[in-house]
């Protein structure tokens, strides 16, 4: 069974595939997509505190917990490196 969870529930070192975004301001969504965080892409969590640092391909992006809770991923793709 596939479950969608927010990135904020992932632990450091886990990788998962983005499936959707929650309701957020348009400027936040534009910034995420500009950095390559799109449905279908894999994101790896490099850090969870004090902010979430996500890696997408060769890009690292810091987001606060509120934004991380609005990026949804499939847990069947979740894996630790």
What are the extents of the domains in the chain? 4-80
**pTM (whole model) above 0.95:** no
The secondary element (H helix, E strand) that includes residue 14 is strand 14-21
Closest C-alpha among 70, 76, 46, 47 to residue 58: 46
Cα–Cα dist 46/75, whole Å = 17
Whether CATH 3.40.50.2300 fits 4-80: no
Cα–Cα dist 67/76, whole Å = 22
Closest C-alpha among 4, 3, 1, 2 to residue 69: 4
Span 25-78, pLDDT tens digits: 888 899 999 999 999 999 999 999 999 999 999 999 999 999 999 999 997 655
């Amino acid at each position: 069974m596939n479950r969608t969870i927010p990135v904020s529930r992932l632990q450091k070192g886990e990788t998962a595939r983005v499936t959707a975004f929650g309701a957020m301001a348009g400027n936040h969504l534009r910034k995420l997509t500009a950095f390559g965080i799109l449905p279908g892409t894999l994101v790896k969590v490099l850090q969870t505190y004090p902010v979430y640092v996500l890696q997408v391909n060769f890009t690292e992006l810091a987001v606060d917990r509120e934004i991380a809770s609005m990026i949804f991923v499939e847990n069947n793709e979740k894996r630790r490196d």
